[in-house]
Structure 1
Amino acid sequence: MNILVLNGPNLNLLGLREPTIYGHETYEDLCEMIRQNAQTMGVTVSFYQSNHEGALVDAIQEARGNIDGIVINPGAYTHTSVALLDVVKAVSIPTVEVHISDPDTREEFRKISYIRQGCVATVKGKGFAGYVEAMEILAKGHSGE
């Protein structure tokens, strides 16, 4: 199974950005933790991070035919991007929305998720471990369990 892990705006600043919410671990720490867990699970994982909505849309389009599942943390685009919802629905790749924090416990505007309608599941508020849970959801669905 091939999983694409997509991260949206400002996730490259993990460790610096609001450490009381996101912790002190870096984006590189996140990717390494995901790599180790993917290896244990027997899945292949690739990563893409962008601060630009169109680049994320392009990455999802390019995943068609190459990727079996997507784990996406759209960052702030969660609350604004119909384009990400549309592309997830268009490519029909099982996608799990993930958030390090729980947006439902934060500012009112963060409770809105456009992409959620196109996702098979949402994992939120579990820190970096949420990415592993998202991969497990995809792997379980892929194996037919």
Structure 2
Amino acid sequence: MSASIYILNGPNLNRLGTREPETYGSTTLGDIEGLCRDVGEDLNLEIEFRQSNHEGLLVDWIQEAGDLAQGLVLNPAAFTHTSVAIHDAIRAVEIPTVEVHLSNVFAREAFRHHSYVSPVALGVICGFGATGYRLALEALSTVIRP
């Protein structure tokens, strides 16, 4: 039986491929979804992949993941630095969560150095572009199936 993993993406990630290519590259969110589905198939993981620009909807999906999934990969994007609501939702669902960022947030503006998500995440992967999603799925696979 395959395990279910939710992969949730925050604001502006729907613009990948055209948004700040010097920072985020030319990979689209559709490309990342394809990568995640391929990795999921290799690891026998059922992937639920979503994106929203709305904080409340992301909170709803985190709660849904807590009811239906064995793990969560989350790229909260700008909500990383602002959302206590997302922090609280992750804490409430108690499923292993990996925080992912395409860029190295610590090599960027100082306001990006703080994360409300990191304290409630199992781990953080940043700076490896789309590969970070693959790394997150591999990490979750080892945690949910020791």
CA distance in 2, matches of 1:89, 1:31: 25
What is the root-mean-square deviation in Å for CA atoms of aligned residues? 0.7
Choose which of 56, 62, 65 in structure 2 pairs with 1:63: 65
Choose which of 31, 34, 45 in structure 2 pairs with 1:32: 34
Aligned partner letter, 2:130? F
1:53 paired to 2:55: yes
Where in structure 2 are the equivalents of 1:84-95 lying within 5 Å? Answer: 84-95=86-97
Where in structure 2 are the equivalents of 1:82-121 lying within 5 Å? Answer: 82-121=84-123
Choose which of 72, 80, 83 in structure 2 pairs with 1:81: 83
Gapped runs of 5+ residues in structure 2?
none
CA distance in 2, matches of 1:7, 1:74: 6
Report SS of the residue matched to 1:65.
helix
TM-score (norm 1): 0.97
Report SS of the residue matched to 2:132.
helix
Gapped runs of 5+ residues in structure 1?
none
CA distance in 2, matches of 1:64, 1:15: 30
* 1:140, distance to aligned residue in structure 2 (A): 0.3
Q: Percent identity?
A: 47
CA distance in 1, matches of 2:113, 2:17: 24
* 1:143, distance to aligned residue in structure 2 (A): 1.0
Choose which of 13, 20, 23 in structure 2 pairs with 1:21: 23
User: Number of residues paired by the alignment?
Assistant: 144
Report SS of the residue matched to 2:68.
coil
TM-score (norm 2): 0.97
CA distance in 2, matches of 1:63, 1:24: 29
